[in-house]
């Protein structure tokens, strides 16, 4: 171990988990180019330069449109496995040991992929991710929230009838403002998923206010919340999140790129921490937002002056909030503690800014 390492070197060495990343949104430029060339004729560019321009978003609906176009390239079981393995490959140099990957079965259903074929592809890919890259993959099945009762039904059916071996959670994403129309269907789906032993990991408070966060808490039994950044306008909600330490999987660059926050320096992350809330750092749809898990650590360190101990605490929080086994959690936290302990030993009595 190199002692007295730079902040960048520390971030690279820091063992991490990624708790909020989407299957299609995780596709790096080389992976998307592989798929677009495998399935020519779509609106997704087949050249790198055009694809990078394609990934410039004006707002969240535009992002959703581009996301849908990339999703249309996932037509065969081989395409599903390509996405998972591409993510595993990309996570290795970032020090990410474990990821909970959000999969949208309804999207695969729409293009005619059988449940069993999708599940087999996910099983093969998680096995290969571990054996070839040393990255452990788990899955969260999520409902695309704007598609209503049919999407909830298909997602739940797949989760209960044909689950991949590494399925740990049940979620919902998409455009939050559309959810109230399907309130009962979504509550019912989450109730059934939880009864089957799946963890409740919905998005909430990304593009709408505290009312959506309350709904995922009260209506979906949320155990962890994707984003949650718009909680701060409701003091009662903030107090509840602080008291329960319900984890918020925060994705700063994503919030900037989709127009939820004007710039990284405007992100509410420091206020969330000041309020004593439980926060993890994640990448959401990393190549689409020109980021990575490690880049999120760098971005918040630069923007807010966070030091190594604060960054290490984000990493610990990710491990604690994950659905890893208790033994795996213990070992990863020991690694994080060993790294920070060795760093601290080089400068006894020194205190970093933002720590």
Cβ atoms of residues 76 and 35 within 8 Å: no
The CA-based dihedral angle spanning residues 222, 223, 224, 229, taken in that order and rounded to the nearest 10 degrees: 50
Furthest-apart CA atoms within the chain: distance in Å = 62
Closest of 354, 228, 219 to residue 297, by C-alpha: 354
Q: At what angle do helices 29-38 and 77-91 cross, to 10 degrees?
A: 160
Strand partners, 225: 248
CA distance 58 to 78: 32
Token pair for residue 137?
Answer: 């993959």
Q: 94: how many CB neighbours lie within 10 A of its CB? A: 21
How far separated are the first and last CA of the chain, in Å rounded?
A: 22
CA distance 340 to 336: 6
Q: Where would I find the beta strands (DSSP E) of the chain? A: 16-22, 96-103, 136-144, 167-173, 199-200, 203-204, 225-227, 248-250, 279-281
CA distance 150 to 115: 15
Catalytic residue numbers read: 206
Token pair for residue 48?
Answer: 């790198």
Strand partners, 172: 143
Token pair for residue 35?
Answer: 């798929």
CA distance 294 to 277: 22
Q: Where would I find the beta strands (DSSP E) of 72-135? A: 96-103
Token pair for residue 280?
Answer: 């993890």
Transcribe 188-247 into DSSP letters. HHHHHHHHTT-EE--EESSSS-HHHHHHHHHTT--SSEEE-GGGTT-HHHHHHHHHHT--
């Amino acid at each position: 171990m190199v002692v007295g390492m730079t902040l960048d070197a520390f971030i690279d060495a820091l063992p991490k988990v990624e708790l909020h990343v989407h299957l299609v949104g995780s596709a790096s430029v080389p992976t998307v180019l592989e798929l677009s060339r495998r399935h020519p004729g779509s609106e997704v560019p087949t050249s790198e330069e055009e694809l990078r321009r394609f990934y410039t978003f004006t707002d969240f609906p535009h992002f959703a449109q581009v996301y849908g176009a990339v999703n249309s390239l996932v037509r065969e079981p081989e395409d599903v496995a390509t996405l998972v393995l591409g993510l595993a490959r990309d996570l290795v140099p970032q020090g990410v040991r474990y990821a909970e990957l959000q999969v949208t079965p309804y999207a695969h259903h729409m293009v005619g992929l059988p449940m069993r074929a999708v599940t087999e592809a996910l099983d093969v890919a998680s096995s290969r991710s571990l054996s070839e890259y040393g990255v452990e993959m788990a899955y969260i099945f999520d409902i695309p929230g704007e598609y209503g009762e049919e999407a909830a039904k298909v997602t739940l059916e797949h989760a209960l009838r044909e689950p991949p071996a590494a399925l740990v959670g049940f979620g919902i994403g998409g455009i939050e403002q559309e959810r109230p129309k399907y309130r009962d269907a979504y509550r019912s789906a989450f109730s059934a998923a939880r009864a089957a032993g799946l963890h409740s990991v919905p998005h909430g408070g990304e593009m709408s206010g505290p009312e959506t966060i309350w709904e995922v808490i009260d209506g979906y039994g949320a155990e962890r919340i994707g984003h949650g950044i718009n909680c701060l306008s409701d003091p009662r909600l903030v107090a509840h999140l602080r008291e329960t330490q319900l984890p918020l999987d925060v994705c700063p660059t994503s919030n900037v790129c989709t127009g939820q926050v004007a710039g990284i320096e405007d992100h509410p992350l420091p206020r969330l921490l000041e309020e004593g809330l439980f926060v993890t750092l994640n990448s959401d749809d990393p190549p689409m937002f020109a980021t990575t898990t490690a880049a999120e650590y760098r971005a918040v360190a630069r923007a807010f002056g966070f030091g190594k101990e604060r960054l290490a605490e984000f990493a610990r929080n990710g491990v604690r909030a994950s659905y890893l086994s208790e033994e795996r959690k213990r070992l990863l936290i020991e690694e994080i503690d060993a790294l920070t302990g060795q760093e601290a030993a080089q400068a006894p009595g020194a205190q970093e800014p933002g720590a």
